[in-house]
Amino acid sequence: MLTLAQIGVGYWGPNLLRNLSASKRCDVKTVVDLAADRQEYVRRLYPRIRTTDNIDRVFEDPDVSAVIIATPVASHFDLATKALRAGKHILVEKPLATRVNEVEEIAALAEKNRLVAMVGHTFLFSPPVRYVKKLIDSGALGNVRYIYSQRLNLGRIRSDVDALWNFAPHDISIIQYWLDEPTPISVARHGAAYIQDSVADVVFLNITYPNNVMANIHVSWLDPRRVRSITVIGTRQMLVYDDAADSKVAIYDKGIDRKAASNGSDPAYDYRSGDVVLPKIDSQEPLRVELDHFFDCIENGTPCLTGPDHAKKVVQILASAQQAPGA
């Protein structure tokens, strides 16, 4: 069994700790949190786990071979590099860092020390997201024309990052995964801060990819509805992935086909409107699948799906958005 430590049990940390504690592949020795009430939370639910506010105890512990980092975004780079220099594998909640050069430094340290560095883009381990990936790769949708996503809610408002850095890493990572990690041609951002000065509550991000593929990402924590959906428009079929719905994937046999013009007349069009298919997809908790993948990368040398290469492209897009119009 791998001996692990976790740093941070704030918003997302309890979900990680629950899955780690239930896993037969690891033993959580230490949890670090600066807040006394969060340490008490861990002691109450997991009395066997040692708690502390001293991060160095984890890095100096020879028993600990891997560290889970679930802290505020600004601390990710510092904690990740300290863990790697201490010889620990790392799984860092998204995003891996806030600058491209920081991701590159993490990648170089991991390679030099022969360690796994992985970012928690959890949706890439979701069965519906993987199902859509297989559909796209099989050609069932035809050529992808454009993709648009909405990740909306009323709250939770944060001050350490804006809505783009809070929500968009999910959708960027999914779209990059579905499209085989292309490099965007252009990135344009339009956002606005309504609740806090200089912290955007709503952002529209437009990404142009090669082959005339366009993606639009709408994120907001100032919206009346909880929405978690991505629509893919293909030349053969269209698809909606809705993480908030009972049927996560809906495939629409719809489209518009252009007929060849005859006798110099204007072209005509066929409008297709066929069945809607709701495929049965096995249900698994993505976070548990993600952690098993992390263990496989450490123990078996499995190529990391969300390693520094993937993380770098996501951060590149987010960083480009920071410099884009409307930022």
Tokens at residue 78, please? 């510092």
pLDDT tops 60 at residue 58: yes
Place 224 in a pLDDT band, splitting at 50, 70 and 90.
very high
Q: Which domains does the chain have, with CATH numbers?
A: 2-120 (3.40.50.720), 124-285+316-322 (3.30.360.10)
Task: Check residue 127 and give its pLDDT.
Answer: 97
Rounded to two decimals, what is the model's pTM? Answer: 0.93
pLDDT tops 80 at residue 304: yes
What CA dihedral angle connects 46, 48, 51 and 55, to 10 degrees?
-110
Q: Are residues 16 and 6 in contact, defined by beta-carbon separation less than 8 angstroms?
A: yes
Q: b/e string for 187-226 if b means 16 or more Cβ within 10 A?
A: bbbebeeeeeeebbbbbbbbbebeeebbbbbbbbbbbeee
Indicate the helix (H) or strand (E) that contains 296.
helix 286-300
Across the range 292-319, mean pLDDT stands at 97
Longest dimension (CA), the chain: 81
- Quote the CA–CA distance of 66 and 2 in Å, as a whole number: 8
Across the range 229-255, mean pLDDT stands at 96
Tokens at residue 98, please? 């806030």
Q: Are residues 81 and 109 in contact, defined by beta-carbon separation less than 8 angstroms?
A: yes
The number of C-alpha atoms within 13 Å of 267 and in the hemisphere containing its C-beta is 7
User: Residue 253: what residue type?
Assistant: D
| Phi, psi of 55, rounded to the nearest 5 degrees | -65, -35
Across the range 9-27, mean pLDDT stands at 96
- Quote the CA–CA distance of 222 and 244 in Å, as a whole number: 18
- Quote the CA–CA distance of 225 and 173 in Å, as a whole number: 23
The number of C-alpha atoms within 13 Å of 178 and in the hemisphere containing its C-beta is 34
Across the range 147-167, mean pLDDT stands at 94
Task: Check residue 268 and give its pLDDT.
Answer: 83
